[in-house]
Chain A
Amino acid sequence: MQRFLLTVDKLSTLVGHAFSFLIVLLTLHVSWEVFSRYVLGAPRAWAFDGMIMLYGTLFMMAGAYTLSKNGHVRGDVLYGFFEPRTQATIDLILYFLFFIPGVFALTYAGYFYAAESWAINEHSNITADGPPVYPFKMVIPIAGAFLLLQGLVEIIRCVICLRDGAWPSREEDVEEVDVEKLKEMVHADEAMLDAGAVVRETAR
């Protein structure tokens, strides 16, 4: 079972990692657009559409990844103080009460929304001759499906936690506040400065 959980985790992570590079693309795209417009005087008509699509795809496709890393913001006034079993009970109930209906409805509706757009070969109307929109709309059901899959895994996690009394493990990932890493960063720099001081001392 744990293997299945970790496999799905890996899948979500892989997808999330792959799509997270869109931020690099987005940065370069907008930077280039700024340069092109202000310096070269040659704005590109589809720049705005491109921007929107990169950003929208980025955050939608990262939804499952964020869930797999437990990264969605939680109200932490009580949750953190609960026993793991209590946490799992609450989560389990609320996954069925809130998560499944919400995300399922989104995926289901998104599928027809995108299919409709595809059927009429919809193009963006922000500029004349805009890029096609249906691939962008397809992102909703795809992201929703990944999210549902990850949600299923989280539900199983809750059940395991109820049985064992402890949360099953997750995949490691970069953390926003990774104390070890930050320590390293500070000390690496410190060592450098100290070494510099030593060099100066000996030179004197």
Chain B
Amino acid sequence: MKIRKELWFGLGLMGLILVSIAVFMPWGSLTNGHLGLLMLALIVVAIMLGFPTAFTLMGMGVFFAWLSYNSVNPDLAVRQVLDLMVQRAYSVMSNDVLIAIPLFVFMGYLVERAALIERLFRSLHLALARVPGSLAVATIVTCAIFATATGIVGAVVTLMGLLALPAMLKAGYDVRLSAGAITAGGCLGILIPPSVLLIVYGATAGVSVVQLYAGAFFPGIMLAGLYVGYVIVVAKLKPALAPKLSEEEARVPVPPSLAPLAATSRNAFTGLLAAVGGRSLGVPAGTVFGQLFVSLVPALSIIGLVWVIWIGATKPVEVVDTTGLQVSGFAADTAGTGTGLAEPQGAGTGLAEPPASEAEETTSGTGLAEPPSDQGGVAEPPAARAAATDAAAPETAVEEAPAAAAAERLPAPTWFWVVAAIASAFGVLVYVLWTWQRLEIFKMLLASFFPLSILILAVLGSIVFGLATPTEAAAVGAFGGFVLAAAYRYYGHLREARRGAAVSPTARTLADLWDIIKESSFLTAKTTAMVCWLFVGSSIFAAAFALLGGQDIINRWVLSMDLTPVQFMLLAQGIIFILGWPLEWTEIIVIFMPIFVPLLPHFNIDPLFFGLLVALNLQTAFLSPPVAMAAFYLKGVSPPHVTLNQIFAGMLPFMGIQVIALALLYIFPGIGLWLPQTLYR
């Protein structure tokens, strides 16, 4: 039989495992623990055979669980195995972390079907026209946002392959650079929350999904930023690989209705103001006011932002009160006016913040350092605490003020005025640069970039700031995705109707929506069934592994190696990296995390931090040949002259960046841990 070249890799790996089983197993004196290890090695081989993993795990688990029970009491073994199975299955069915998966997946499919990626890409590419390598940068940013909202690698890479690849190739971009930008960008959705991977990790390792989301946010942004930085540097150093857009391509046409105004003034804002003042040059007043309103959106949002910060900065009155009450509740020696009533409230807060501080956190990002229940005997009011976390914070009188004394709005601290000044300067700058072209670009962004970013940030923000559980946020996000899809479809049909399509836009939108809901539901059912049945299988498998005591052997073995935490970390990440070749991320997490996570306390590694590293690490699995899914999706839709090897070559630098990001996160854990620690500790 002739064996194809591609098979050698997998067969070699498989042979290696089987040989090491044969060599290292103490065949003479098999204990149950050794059986556990055997089971672990065999499962890798069995999964590589390609049978649906959920059932591989289930069948293997049943068999080995029976072996384990049989060694104790053969009479009860069958009964116990059956009980174990059904209880495991039921525990997955009633798992309150996994519920968020179908909801996020559903949200993803709905957003994908809103058909806004084209607008998103176009508006971003025009907005970024001055940046070197603008098309590739726009590709990565589009991918990052769209992949974050949908989380579907295949669809994002395919869509961008259809959209961005021809655009980049036409503009004379290097094939490899283009392919790398698309594939690497499309995989960002795995890491940037709300991602399903982090839920799966959280459910497996028993880490709070909320903290994982808070922790993965900045590493995700950092990775996207590194990609963008790399593309810009390449475009600067080797312009031949990413030529500048011609003036013609970067130009945004000003709509004819506004052309007379645009001809007379450079700045759109002053032009529109003049038009309101009477120099309308035949442009209808409705159009002028409409454009003026759009122009005012940045100003309004800046004012709104500053206002919210002001509320947060000057209104910690209630928080101060609760703090005082709690302190008196916990430590009676503090001079407080407290009643005992507040104590249970404070004790019960846990991770949730007091409501008054939320507004500030949402906007300013400085955040309160701790929930009130953590503040032992310190009577420092949160206003001062917030000020202290701010780099530019001067001492204010608030610090000395006793907590209960403050009854009205506090005077705004100096840092607030600094922020306000910066914001207003920014606002002025925006309006100085507010040309007609930029107004057009802003309108395009308003119709594509902002709705999606707001949806993501709202979902993420409400989770991270403790306003809603991931499940609730996911459901509301799915609802938002539906509204988004409805709005975009309706808008599209409305435009067609204006051009003379016969059917009414409402009827067509409703028909569309029915299709969208139907398809999204079916796809969600399939994806959820895939992930959750895998969980059923793996939890039965994990139970069998634990019964056999395989974990003990691994623990003893790892501890006997006497590794330093750094060595352990490198070993663990190395193993995960290697497993990323033959296995999918779902399999790696559900099968191998239960083995790694119990080892973490020995090395004083935070499971949260470990999870972030794993998530970043598994990104590379999507880009590493020969099984990089992203490459095959791209190949499927690229023009014939783009070869798979070119795509792989294009992905390599981005893989390198991922390794750098992994190292950065390891060296500076603060990148990931700062936000969760600020919010929840």
Contact = CB atoms under 8 A, between A and B. Distances in A.
Interface string B490-507: 001001100100000000
Given A20-B522, A101-B63, 8 more contacts: A16-B526, A27-B479, A56-B92, A77-B9, A90-B51, A102-B537, A182-B158, A189-B118
A105 B85 contact: yes
Contacts of A23: 102-103, 106, 520-521, 524-525, 528
B352 interface: no
Per CB-CB distance, the 4 closest pairs between chain A and chain B, nearest first, are A79-B50, A98-B59, A30-B475, A20-B525
Given A58-B525, A176-B527, A74 B495 contact: no
Nearest to A203: B256
A52 B99 contact: yes
Contacts of A60: 93, 529, 532
Interface string B65-81: 00000000000000001
Given A78-B10, A173-B522, A26 B475 contact: yes
14 contacts: A20-B522, A20-B524, A21-B521, A27-B479, A28-B479, A31-B476, A69-B526, A75-B47, A98-B58, A101-B63, A102-B85, A105-B81, A189-B115, A190-B118
B499 to A, nearest CB: 7
B573 interface: no
Interface string B518-558: 01111111111111111011001000000000000000000
Interface string B103-139: 1001000000101011100100000000000000000
Interface in A175-191: 176-177, 179, 182-183, 185-186, 188-190
B61 interface: yes
A78 B51 CA distance: 11
B264 interface: no
Interface string A153-197: 000000000000000000001101101001101101110110111
Interface of B: 4, 6-7, 9-11, 13-14, 46-56, 58-63, 81-83, 85-87, 89-90, 92-94, 96, 98-99, 102-103, 106, 113, 115, 117-119, 122, 152, 154-155, 158-159, 162-163, 253, 255-256, 259, 468, 471-472, 474-476, 478-479, 482, 492, 495-496, 499, 517, 519-534, 536-537, 540, 581-584, 586-587, 627, 633, 636-637
Given A77-B48, A101-B59, A177-B633, A109 B83 contact: yes
B154 A177 contact: yes
B158 to A, nearest CB: 5
Contacts of A52: 93-94, 96, 99
Given A34-B476, A140-B89, A186-B159, A77 B582 contact: yes
Contacts, number: 279
The A contact surface, by secondary structure, is helix
Given A27-B479, A94-B51, A76 B63 contact: no
A110 B61 contact: no
Nearest to A181: B519
A71 B119 contact: no
Given A51-B99, A55-B102, A73 B54 contact: yes
Contact of B472 (A19, A33, A95, A177): A33
A4 interface: no
